[in-house]
Structure formats: structure tokens, C-alpha cells
Amino acid sequence: MTLDPSTTRSVLISGTWRAANHQKTFSPTDPTLNQTIDHAFPVSEWSDCDEALDAAVEAARELKSVASETIADFLDCFASKIDQSKDALADAAFHETGLAKSPRLADVELPRTSNQLRAAAQACRTGSWTLPTIDQPAGIRSCYEALGPVCIFGPNNFPFAFGSVSGGDFAAAIAAGNPVIGKANSSHPETTRLFAQLALQAIEETGLPKATVQLIYRTSHDDGERLVSDPRSGATGYTGSRHAGLKLKAAADKAGKPIYLELSSVNPVVITPGALTERGEEISADFLTSVLMGTGQFCTNPGLVLLLKGSHSDTFIESIRDRFAAAPAGTLLSPSVANNLASSIKTLCEFGAELLVGGGEPEANRCAYANTLLRVSGEAFLSNPEGFQTEAFGNASLVVVAEDLPQLCKAIRHLEGNLTGCLYSNTDGSEDEACQQISQELAPKVGRLLNDKMPTGVAVSPAMNHGGPYPATGHPGFTAVGIPASLIRFAKLTCYDNVRENRLPPLLKAENPLSAWRCVDGSWTRDPLS
Amino acid sequence: MTLDPSTTRSVLISGTWRAANHQKTFSPTDPTLNQTIDHAFPVSEWSDCDEALDAAVEAARELKSVASETIADFLDCFASKIDQSKDALADAAFHETGLAKSPRLADVELPRTSNQLRAAAQACRTGSWTLPTIDQPAGIRSCYEALGPVCIFGPNNFPFAFGSVSGGDFAAAIAAGNPVIGKANSSHPETTRLFAQLALQAIEETGLPKATVQLIYRTSHDDGERLVSDPRSGATGYTGSRHAGLKLKAAADKAGKPIYLELSSVNPVVITPGALTERGEEISADFLTSVLMGTGQFCTNPGLVLLLKGSHSDTFIESIRDRFAAAPAGTLLSPSVANNLASSIKTLCEFGAELLVGGGEPEANRCAYANTLLRVSGEAFLSNPEGFQTEAFGNASLVVVAEDLPQLCKAIRHLEGNLTGCLYSNTDGSEDEACQQISQELAPKVGRLLNDKMPTGVAVSPAMNHGGPYPATGHPGFTAVGIPASLIRFAKLTCYDNVRENRLPPLLKAENPLSAWRCVDGSWTRDPLS
């Protein structure tokens, strides 16, 4: 499907690409040039959402009688099409996000995305993600089941791996048996449209209900809130800014609709004196790689470093300051990211943070901002912990230098919920007592605790938690990355009490046709019931 | 601890029974006499909540280094004390709730309560409830962990099994490693106080932090909202009226605090013509037992019966009408329950329901209301589905007679979320196609689907789901009954990424010291890592 660039792009509703019901349009920006791209995308009126919801309800109903195998086939087929369209997808995404094609879009994020879809397909095939639980003496069985239409709002920073019709939330929602209404991120709508095209092809090839994947680009804020709280909606996945996310959360909460949010995180990194003495330069290099990766636009970007006062810390700060100064400033995703970063830095400085390097205004000819390092004392941090946790999304970090261990622990105790928390210490174990104190403070604040490792790598592992206490996310019990655990978010628990064998879902039948892992009378097994 | 009945009861804060900070008091009613009981209970000021929260935070911190075995010992010890105090507890609860001592309080609800605590102890001992997940190649491990202080608001209808310091939420929160701040239900504060006394004794005997269990009786509505949204609070469990629950939910949601609610449910029961032809009288008798059990004051009370038009249904309705008329009206829990029931019946009649038996005003000399059966056509139901789902909590039920199967299915499609849904059909399978249609509509609306069985029995089974879509609860993925699944609600997911072996929690250590079930590289096993 090739469109005249002057034509407003179509939305995908109920298996058909059609003109949106719209009065306004928008266009993304090429951040490498800070210039508007000559593609118009519609701002859908409510009627588009309404039609998409109706179609999704019907698709949800049909999906209930589709075999898991077929849904898995769709995910695999879609994954293959993504791999085959690598160049076109990377071109579109580079144009809209400025993220490098290599090493990043084509060779890192794209295979991650297709492999994530394949992992979801595998989870869908076996069904073990539904945690089937059988109490034979009581005649009671339960498992998680599809919940209904899932609305997905993807973020700006991972156009593939977190994309609204390609990413982790999408893979999880589909593998759990739900149709998806994707709302493209406004900074990369063309990239999202290409994914939706491939998804529709895969739907047609595998015979899923046509409205299994639908796409709109943008709505008014009011219509967004209406969408996530509509009675026809099953649940929502949102990754993006805290401000917009909390508005959607309020609407969904009021309607009793589950909404899973990934909002913001400064990802504290604590580095002990022993670690700095032992391998300060190595950690400094690791930190630089992590903090500037993707121009700092990772959800898990280490935006807050906590150190103890002393010469080792001063040396470390000098080292990272020099590395910040020497590294070229990467391109940011959009003008608003650059402006928000400048604004956050200004705010942090107003609160009293010392600017060690960077700062200033965004560049004019591209979306970019100087690599920025800030420093503040533990005492100052504790005088305004909320203010100093202002997220500076991008290539910036704030170093807190605490007077002593109690002050360091106190600072951690004042942290909001975060996705990650890292602790670097020396290797001989002599700091273990201090580390225990630090860990005890840090663990309750984060979804993922790391040792001796930077937080930016988020493996697609069954043991991953890409989540954390509010306001990092909306609920501390769920992960957005990691299969099969991420699927549970888009499912409801259903108990079958004395339900006749021929009416049970396959996963709860005696013969266990999918050889799923099931907890039978307290023991996990893949065997059929005896 | 024996108090002069004229003395205002003490609250339990931080291990000490002390006078509440209060200006107002309240007294419960003996519903068998409709007379105020001569015990005064304080309405705590915020300062009581504040102190309880501070103490709970400290207890939560201490509990992190307490062995699971010790927490389990506390639960077992508390269970034994409950068994030993059977008579005193049943006396107090009878006095405050009018529920029969036998068969109910002493011989059904009490053993259920102590056995639930023992099941929680067992879950705590093995730790399998934390769903430990280990990815050896990636060096990533995760499990659920204690979340922090849990506030529990117990309901009026199960003073033991759902009591705020004795029931299912309590057992789950403690077994997950959290301290509990119990807020007594105002209709049975003395009963709750007795439980808290036993809990404190068990705390002292097993050496848990003293503030592991705290008790207040009542607060202002504002302070209740403040409690569940306080930064020090980890999560809240609430069982009670929808109106009060939604206010707490709004406050907790806004603060990003998990809140688990059990709000209301009419528990639809669909009975096919074949079932009525085959065993109408048997079903009628089962229905009567279920609908009048506990004077209809079960969360899972069958308040809505859906039938198809025909002589079999007319006969069935006559049968249950006669049984309603013949059965004595039981005592209700409180004056407000009786008044609310009368008000709901009036509302349903105003909407056009036909009163078949019962109705009228509550009795004057005790809390009671006539057994009430109402009837409405499918067409009328569909003209005002929300209105006809007005919960009439107590000994009442509404029968909907649908014109045909499509109308029956349409009525089900208009149901709100419910805890349970039942389907009775004939046994020869000739109705299976219709049953499939009905089940497809019913299953998404309910937490538990039953066949040929009334909904009022809620087994404490690992496969139980005592939950369901909003507004039955606040989230469709969690159960309030059933161990170990109910524990997850009061836990956060924590991932350990590259964390050193000596710093891992026991459940994630290579040797698997508790022999917990763990998902290791995709397979469930109780073995240590090799």
C-alpha cells in the first residue's frame, strides 16, 4: 500500500484501511533535521473509537473459539513479516525517531521485537501462562482467560519493541487471546502504520478475526479517556509520560477497568567506595554506555547516582563528567523530548543542583541537548527529595553525594517507586553489611534489583520484572516485559466449579491436550489427570 | 482482659491496648432484639491511624528478617487459640450479628476460619505462593515479596471467616509477610476485639513484631480514605458495600496504592427447561437452602434467577414462592441491612418487578424482613438492566423470565460483573448447544462459573476464585478466597538481576532451602539448582 504523501493516512478499523473520521491532522517530526515530515495523520473523532470497539468486541467473541495454535501461528507469521521488512521498518523509524538503524533499530530492536512475538506464540501454544490450577477432590478448576479488547498506547522511545501493534504489550495481549486497538505514538505513526499493515497480512494468512488488530493514530484527550473506560474495553496498556498516563489511569480506575502503566523512573544506581576503589574506571565506562544509550531515552536509564562522600567519589564524578563532555550528544526523539529535558534540567538547577557539564538550551537544527551531569549533596537531596527526583528524560543524570551511610539509606528511603535499582560494591565481600542495609532500603522501592550491572538491558526472560511500585507503574505486581508473566495482565481469573468435563476449556480438561504445566492438587505437572 | 461494659473499648496499637484518641463513640446493635448493646467503641481520630501506620512500617521492616517458619507458627498458634475460644467468640458474634451459633458460627464458620489460617501457615512455610522464577542462563530470578502494611476492612456478614483480624484477607496478608491494620466492622466490634486479643497473645508467644496486628474500630470516612492512600500503606483489602468501597477505591487509586475490593454481586443462576423438567423440585429445594442461607447475607447469594418462559418455569416459580412463604424469615445482621433490603425491594417494585411473596417493611422487634421473591419479564429486565440489578442484600431474589434463548442470552450480556454464575441443565446432554451459548455469555461476566450447583459454598481451595469483573470486585485477576492464590494480592514482584547468591532471598537461592515449587528455566520443580 503506497500512499501519496499529501494524502492523509488511513486508519485500520475492522480489517479495513479506510479514511478516518477526522477534522484535524498532525505530522511527525524528523528529529535529525527538526523538520516536519510531509505525512498527514488523522486525529480520529470518537466515531472511529466507537467502531473499533464494536469490532473488537466481536473479534474477542470470535477469538474465544479460535485454537491457541492459530493465534500462535499469527504471532509467528507476523514475526516473520517483521524480519522480512527490516529495511523498510528501520527506514521509517529512523526518519521519525532519529534512532540509529545500526546498531539499534535494524539489528537490535527489530530482532528483539520479532523474537518477543515468537516467545508469545510459544506461551500461547502451551497455555502454561494461564496457571491452570486443579483441585480434584473439590471438583474445582481455574485458569486465566482472555479479558476482552485491549487498548495499547505505545511510547516514543521504542518504536518496535514497545510499539502499540508490535511490542511487548501487544504480544502479551494477543497471546492471551485478546484483540488489540493500537493507538500509535504520535512521534512515529508511519512506523506503526507499517506494522499494522504487516499484522493485517498475517491476520489474513492465518485466518484470525479481522478486527484482531486495529489502528488509530491520535484522538483528543477526552476520547482517549473515554476509550480506556468504555464498557466494551477489557484493559489498557500504556507506556509514556506520567502526566498523560495518570489521566488515563484516573478514567480507567473510575470505570473499574484494569490499566497497566509504565510511567517514569529515575533508576537509582548506588556505588560503594569499595567498588570505586576496586574498579572505578570500569564502572565509569559502563555507566557512560548505559546513561547515553539511545541518547538516554530508555525507561531504565540511570538518571540518579548515589555515592558516599570521599575522594573516590570525586574521582568517579570527574571521570564521568569528562566522558559526558567528550561524548557527542545524540539525537533526541522529538522536539518535545528536547524541550522537556531542557526544562527538567532547569528545574533541577533551580532546586540547587550543581551543573557539572552540559545544560543550556536544545540545539536548533536537530532535536538534541548537551550531555548533562548534575550534582547535589545528600543533605540538599533530602531537603527536597520529590524535586530532585524530577525525571530528566534523555542524556542526563544527577549524582547525589551522601555524607555517610545513614544519609545514603535515608535518601533511598525517600525515593519514589522505580523500575530498577542497582548496587555496585567491591568483590571481596567486605562491604556486605553496608550492602545489606542499602539493599533493604532499595528493594522495596524497585521492580528489579541489580548487582554490579547497569539497568538498561531488559532481557525478555520469564524471570524479568519490568515493573515496580507506583509511580514507576500503576501496580507493583505486574511486569510489562517477560513472557509468560506479562500475559497475566490481560486476563481474568475464571474458576470452573463442578463444570462438566465437556464444557471445560482445553487447559482444564483431564487429558491436558496442550501438555501445559498445571498445578494439580498442589503439585506442578504436565501430565494428564489420572 | 475483662472490661466494664460502661468503659469505652481500647484500640490495639503497636502491641498495646490503650485508650483511643477519640471524641465520639458508637455501639453495635443486637439484631435479635433490635437493641443497642451496652458496649462503647471509639471512633478513632487520625492520630490513631497515624501511630498505627508508623508502627506498621516498623513491623514491616522487622518482618523482612523474620523466618517464614516463624510467621507460619504465629498463624498456627492463632488458629489454635481461635479453636480454644470457640464459645466466647460464638457468643460475642451471636450477640452482635444474630447469626446462629449452630449450625453456623461455632461449628461452620469458626473451623473454616482457623483452617484457613492453617492453610495460610502452610503456604507461608513452603513459599511456593511467591511463584519463584529462575532463568539460569540470564542470571535473573524473581518472586513475589511482602508489600508493606495492609489495611483490612472486614464485612458485616462473616465476623470470623472474613473478619479484619481473622479472615481470608488477614490470613493472606500475614502469610505474605505483611503487618495488618484491622478496621473492625462496626456491626461486630466486640467480636473483632476478641480476635485481636488472641492475635496479640499469639504474637507474644511466637515472637513476631508487636505491631504485626493492630486494631481500630471506626474512623471518619475522610480518615478511612486517608488511611488507604497514605504513603506508608502497602495495600488494602475491603469487603463491604459498593458505595463505601468505591470511595476508598478512588482514594487508593489516586495514590497508586493497590486496593482489593469485594463489593456486590447478584450471582445469576440460569436454569434450563430441561433441568426443571428433570429435577425441578430438587433444584427448588437447593435454591431455597442457598438463597436463605445466613438469611441471604452471603456475597454469593443467588439474587437473580434466569428462566425461559413456559409451564416448567411457572411451576418452579410457584414452588419457590411457596417455600419462601413457608420458611421463617431469619434475623438480619443489623438495622441498616434490614432497611437497605426493604429499600431495594421497594426500588425493584418501582421499576416494575412483580412481588410474588414477601415485601413490606422490616420487623420492629428484631432485624428481619419477610422472605421476598420478585418476578420480571426478560423484556422488562432489558428495558432497565441496571435498575433490575439493584442488589437486595438479604433473603430476597428476583426471577427473570425470558421469552426465548436469544433474549436470555441478551439479558446475560447486560449483566454487570459478578462473583458467580450458575447454569443448571438436564443431564442427558441434549441441551448442550444452548448451554454453550449461555456459558459463552456468562463466563466473561463472572469469577466462578458453576454447573448444577448453587453458588453459596466457597471452598478454600487453591483453584477457587472468589473474585470477578468489576463491580463485583475492583480487578478481574485476583481472588479473595483460596490459598495460595489470595496471597499474591498483598505482594510485589521483585526481580533479582545478577544479584549475588549470598544476597538472594531464601526462595531464590540455589539450594532451595524451603523445597518450594519454582519455575526453573521453564519447568516447575522443587529441586535445588544443579
Residue A243 has pLDDT above 50, yes or no: yes
Distance CA B53, CA B220 (A): 16
pLDDT tens, A333-383? Answer: 999 999 999 999 999 999 999 999 999 999 999 999 999 999 999 999 999
pLDDT tens, A181-218? Answer: 999 999 999 999 999 999 999 999 999 999 999 999 99
- Set of chain A residues whose Cβ sits within 8 Å of the Cβ of B492: 444, 447, 469, 476-477
Inform me whether the C-beta atom of residue A385 falls under 8 Å from chain B C-beta atoms: no
Which of the residues B51, B190, B262, B391 is marked catalytic? Answer: B262
As given in the structure block, the three cell numbers for residue A423 are: 548496587
Q: How many residues belong to chain B?
A: 530
Handedness of CA B435, B436, B437, B441 (dihedral sign): positive
| Residues of chain B predicted below pLDDT 70 | 1-6
**Inter-chain CB proximity A495 and B463 less than 8 Å:** yes
CB atoms within 10 A of CB B336: 15
**Inter-chain CB proximity A432 and B502 less than 8 Å:** yes
Please give the pLDDT value at position A1.
38
* Alpha carbon of residue A108 to chain centroid: 16
Contact by Cβ (8 Å): B171, B482: no
Please give the pLDDT value at position A4.
53
Nearest alpha carbon to residue A324 among A252, A265, A375: A375
pLDDT tens, B447-473? Answer: 999 999 999 989 999 999 999 999 999
Residues of A annotated as part of the active site: 262, 299
**Inter-chain CB proximity A493 and B450 less than 8 Å:** no
pLDDT tens, A250-303? Answer: 999 999 999 999 999 999 999 999 999 999 999 999 999 999 999 999 999 999
- Set of chain B residues whose Cβ sits within 8 Å of the Cβ of A460: none
**Inter-chain CB proximity A450 and B253 less than 8 Å:** no
CB-nearest to A497 from B135, B138, B449 is: B449
User: What is this structure's pTM?
Assistant: 0.97
Please give the pLDDT value at position B6.
59
Residues 89-148 of B with CB under 8 A from A: 133-135, 138, 140-142, 144-145, 147-148
**Which secondary structure element, helix H or strand E, spans residue A437, and what is its range?**
helix A432-442
Strands B213-216 and B180-183, bridge-based pairing = parallel
Contact by Cβ (8 Å): A149, A230: no
Handedness of CA A432, A433, A435, A441 (dihedral sign): positive
CB-nearest to B495 from A447, A494, A502 is: A447
Please give the pLDDT value at position B4.
53
pLDDT tens, A140-152? Answer: 999 999 999 999 9
CB-nearest to A142 from B256, B463, B524 is: B463
Inform me whether the C-beta atom of residue A427 falls under 8 Å from chain B C-beta atoms: no
Q: Which amino acid is at B439?
A: S
Q: Where do the domains of chain B lie, and which CATH numbers do they carry?
A: 38-263+480-485 (3.40.605.10), 268-451 (3.40.309.10)
Please give the pLDDT value at position A316.
98
Catalytic, B361? Answer no
**Inter-chain CB proximity B497 and A448 less than 8 Å:** yes
| DSSP SS3 for A478 | coil
DSSP per position, B263-311: -----EEEE-HHHHHHHHHHHHHHHHHHHHGGGG--TT---EEEEESSH
Residue B530 CB-density burial (10 A; 0-12 exposed, 13-18 middle, 19+ buried): exposed
CB atoms within 10 A of CB A329: 20
E strands within A346-412? 354-357, 372-377, 396-402
E strands within A164-303? 180-183, 213-216, 235-239, 259-262, 268-271
**Inter-chain CB proximity B477 and A488 less than 8 Å:** yes
| DSSP SS3 for B195 | helix
**Inter-chain CB proximity B448 and A256 less than 8 Å:** no
**Which secondary structure element, helix H or strand E, spans residue B11, and what is its range?**
strand B11-13
Catalytic, B281? Answer no
| DSSP SS3 for B45 | coil
As given in the structure block, the three cell numbers for residue A431 are: 562491604
pLDDT tens, A471-489? Answer: 999 999 999 999 999 999 9
Residue A169 has pLDDT above 80, yes or no: yes
Distance CA B242, CA A135 (A): 31
CB atoms within 10 A of CB A390: 19
Residue A234 CB-density burial (10 A; 0-12 exposed, 13-18 middle, 19+ buried): buried
Distance CA B10, CA B492 (A): 33
pLDDT tens, B50-65? Answer: 999 999 999 999 999 9
**How close does chain B come to A257, measured CA to CA in Å?**
7
Which of the residues B49, B151, B299, B367 is marked catalytic? Answer: B299
Nearest alpha carbon to residue B367 among B343, B330, B331: B331
Please give the pLDDT value at position A7.
83
- Set of chain A residues whose Cβ sits within 8 Å of the Cβ of B462: 133, 135, 519, 522
Beta-carbon contacts of A328 under 8 Å, excluding residues fewer than 6 positions away, are none
Q: Region A235-261: what's the mean pLDDT?
A: 97
Please give the pLDDT value at position B2.
43
Nearest alpha carbon to residue A335 among A360, A364, A296, A297: A364
Please give the pLDDT value at position B7.
83
Please give the pLDDT value at position A6.
59
Inform me whether the C-beta atom of residue A248 falls under 8 Å from chain B C-beta atoms: no
